[in-house]
């Protein structure tokens, strides 16, 4: 896909890409994207993020170790996780998550709900960064508490939009949280850091059957409340 020429176009064309071409991304370009993302806002300019970039043999070694851990069921469930377990999401988030899964696995990949092997096979692709030539792992210091996750999210969005400006695509992958012990064996992650996500970075394979998959968005009126002076009534507090 062509580079996004405006912020609006970058926002509109950004998606979670799950099929990449093997086309290399030069290190200088990755460094430029990370420099742009580092201009993101953070609480008191704390900049609590760190990024670990993997290519070539280093990426292959991590992928092999992650797949081994996945196949052996060595998930670090509940450890240092910032999101609920799969069966603990409350509504309306549970339904949205279910619709996402149906759209991806059933409608796009044609995998039935009881096709455990097929669905597991697709999920394994997470740990090869969906074939992207560049894999990144984003971590954040726990010292600023939960506010650091907001800062990490701003950095992540900045990176994804900057990638679109360069004609690249990304996929933020929370699946890496479950295998943070494996990541720590391969990467120099400070003890006080939380794994936020993995990030696949590269050129999209638009001919792949996942190339056309898009998720829906809730309409503005479902999550926004507008206030104006005519609609607000102020009452004096009782003395």
Structural domain boundaries of the chain?
7-85+127-224
Q: Among candidates 178, 185, 189, 173, which has minimal Cα distance to 65?
A: 185
Topology of the domain comprising 7-85+127-224: NADH Oxidase (3.40.109)
Rounded CA-CA distance 51/95 in Å is 32
pLDDT of residue 83: 79
pLDDT of residue 86: 79
* H/E element, 52: strand 49-54
Q: Which residues contact 80 (CB under 8 A, 6 or more apart)?
A: 177, 180, 194, 195
Rounded CA-CA distance 23/184 in Å is 28
Helix axis angle for 147-165 and 27-37, nearest 10°, is 130
pLDDT of residue 97: 87
Q: What is the pTM of this model?
A: 0.90
Q: Are 165 and 12 in contact (CB under 8 A)?
A: no
Q: Are 210 and 105 in contact (CB under 8 A)?
A: no
pLDDT of residue 231: 56
Q: How far is CA 217 from CA 20, 48, 73, 157, 171, in A?
A: 24, 30, 33, 17, 17
Take residue 98 and report the two structure tokens written for it.
């279910």
Mean pLDDT of successive 10-residue stretches along the chain, which has 239 residues:
88 95 98 98 96 98 97 81 81 89 87 90 93 97 89 97 97 95 96 95 94 90 90 55
pLDDT of residue 232: 55
Q: What residues does 195 pair with on adjacent strands? A: 139
pLDDT of residue 154: 97
pLDDT of residue 101: 85
Rounded CA-CA distance 199/129 in Å is 7
pLDDT of residue 78: 63
> What are φ and ψ of residue 135, in 5° steps?
-115, 135
Q: Among candidates 127, 209, 172, which has minimal Cα distance to 14?
A: 172
Q: Are 231 and 201 in contact (CB under 8 A)?
A: no
Q: Are 188 and 41 in contact (CB under 8 A)?
A: no
């Amino acid at each position: 896909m062509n580079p996004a020429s405006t912020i609006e176009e970058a926002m509109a064309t950004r998606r979670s890409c799950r099929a990449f071409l093997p086309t290399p991304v030069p290190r200088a370009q990755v460094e430029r994207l990370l420099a742009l993302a580092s201009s993101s806002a953070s609480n008191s300019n704390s900049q609590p993020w760190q990024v670990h970039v993997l290519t070539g043999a280093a990426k292959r070694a991590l992928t092999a170790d992650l797949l081994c851990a996945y196949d052996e069921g060595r998930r670090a469930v509940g450890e240092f996780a910032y999101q609920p377990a799969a069966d603990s999401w409350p509504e309306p988030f549970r339904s949205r998550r279910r619709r996402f899964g149906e759209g991806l696995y059933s409608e796009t990949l044609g995998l039935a709900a009881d096709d455990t092997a097929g669905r597991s096979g697709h999920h394994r692709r997470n740990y090869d960064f969906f074939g992207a030539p560049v894999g990144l792992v984003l971590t954040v210091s726990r010292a600023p508490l939960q506010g650091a996750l907001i800062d990490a999210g701003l950095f992540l969005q900045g990176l994804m939009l900057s990638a679109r400006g360069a004609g690249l695509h990304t996929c933020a992958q929370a699946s890496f949280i479950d295998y943070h012990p494996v990541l720590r064996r391969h990467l120099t992650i400070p003890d006080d850091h939380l794994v936020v996500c993995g990030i696949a970075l590269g050129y999209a394979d638009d001919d792949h059957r996942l190339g056309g998959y898009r998720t829906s968005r809730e309409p503005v009126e479902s999550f926004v409340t507008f206030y104006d002076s005519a609609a607000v009534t102020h009452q004096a507090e009782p003395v």
